[in-house]
Amino acid sequence: MSGRCQAAWEVGVGVTYKSVQERLREAGIVMSKKGEVHRINYFGGLEETALYTTSLEEAMGLGMARPERL
């Protein structure tokens, strides 16, 4: 599976931070974590384009919903 063709991929039991991070990376999105907060942004994106969430499921949804580039 590649890029945005993952619409059917869902976060569920057994899905880890690392697996979501890798899936988003394939779509051109970088995800990092500090404490319980996940940061989602484009590779090389500025702070203005970053999104934050505490939910792994929401992180996946936010990342996959982002356009390729602003």
User: Residue 59: how many CA atoms within 13 Å on its side-chain side?
Assistant: 29
CA distances from 7 to 34, 37, 45, 54, 62 (A): 27, 24, 23, 21, 12
For 6-52, write each residue's pLDDT tens digit. 443 455 666 799 999 999 999 999 999 999 999 999 999 999 999 99
Is 57 domain-assigned?
yes
pTM across the whole model? 0.75
Domain carrying residue 36: 17-65
pLDDT of 11: 54
Residue 4 lies in a domain: no
Q: How many domains does the chain have?
A: 1
